[in-house]
Amino acid sequence: MAPAYALWLTVSVVVKGRAPASAGRGVDYVAKRVAVAPKNENRVIRYFKDVHTEIRKVMWPSRRTTINLTAIVFGVTFAMSVALGLIDWIFARMFAFLIHWLA
């Protein structure tokens, strides 16, 4: 029994002989399909071949889109760091005042 991960290829077998009436006179036709297992490959090699195949299917963004999205990430990161820094400064001043007032 073949392993579950094995790829099965189908190979058409052309048979000369009497063709069905719909095929016409003297025409070769496909009689059956035979399943053929590929050669066993190393798992690592097969993995990298599959990765290469999938990477080729990826639709990569254009340079302009990449620059725009990077600018958005930097802008949001900067805005959030300023907001969190301001909140931290407010709480530090508030607790310093509270500690000074209670002491």
What is the domain extent for residue 6?
Answer: 1-58
Q: Tokens 């709480």 correspond to what residue?
A: 91
Task: State whether 47 and 14 are in the same domain.
Answer: yes
pLDDT recorded at residue 26: 55
Task: State whether 54 and 84 are in the same domain.
Answer: no
Task: State whether 49 and 6 are in the same domain.
Answer: yes
Range with the poorest average pLDDT among 1-5, 22-26, 44-48, 97-101: 1-5
Is residue 93 very low, low, confident or very high in pLDDT (cuts 50, 70, 90)?
Answer: very high
pLDDT recorded at residue 30: 55
Query: Which pairs with CB-CB distance under 8 Å and at least 24 residues apart come from 81-88?
Result: none
The total number of structural domains that make up the chain:
2
Task: State whether 33 and 2 are in the same domain.
Answer: yes
Supply the pTM of this predicted model: 0.47
Task: State whether 53 and 71 are in the same domain.
Answer: no
Task: State whether 93 and 75 are in the same domain.
Answer: yes
Q: Using CA atoms, how far apart are residues 92 and 97, in angstroms rounded to an integer?
A: 9
At 8, list the tokens.
Answer: 């099965």
Task: State whether 47 and 81 are in the same domain.
Answer: no
